[in-house]
């Protein structure tokens, strides 16, 4: 048909696979360093919650927003 952009994707199975990034429950060295700098401006409770959330898979920014809402600075 005219205007049809459908193409067969024979390579689909290799596209969907992602290489493993890190084990769940561990922080990368970059995350540890960033949290250390961040801890100068925030309480221990704030940092503890952020660490917990980051170990669960949240990003630094996401965990910071949640920590600010729940605990504050």
pLDDT tens figures, 45-72: 999 999 999 999 999 999 999 999 999 8
Enter the pTM of the model. 0.64
Number of domains in the chain: 1
Residue 53 is assigned to a structural domain of this protein: yes
Domain assignment of residue 10, yes or no: no
- Residue 38 domain-assigned (yes or no): yes
What pLDDT was estimated at residue 38? Answer: 93
The tokens for 35 are: 């949290």
| CB within 8 Å of 68: residues ≥ 6 apart | 46
Domain contains 9: no
d(CA 40, CA 38): 5
Model confidence over 5-57: pLDDT tens digits?
666 555 555 556 654 555 677 899 999 999 999 999 999 999 999 999 999 99
Taking a C-beta distance cutoff of 8 angstroms, is the pair 70, 49 a contact? Answer: yes
- In the chain, alpha helices (H): 12-16, 29-38, 44-55, 60-70
- Residue 15 belongs to a domain: no
> Does residue 1 fall inside a structural domain?
no
The boundaries of the domain holding residue 36 are: 25-70
């Amino acid at each position: 048909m005219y205007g049809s952009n459908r193409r067969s994707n024979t390579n689909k199975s290799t596209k969907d696979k992602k290489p493993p990034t890190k084990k769940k429950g561990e922080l990368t060295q970059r995350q540890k360093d960033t949290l250390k700098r961040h801890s100068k401006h925030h309480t221990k409770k704030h940092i503890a919650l952020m660490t917990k959330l980051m170990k669960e898979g949240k990003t630094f920014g996401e965990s910071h927003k949640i920590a600010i809402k729940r605990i504050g600075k």
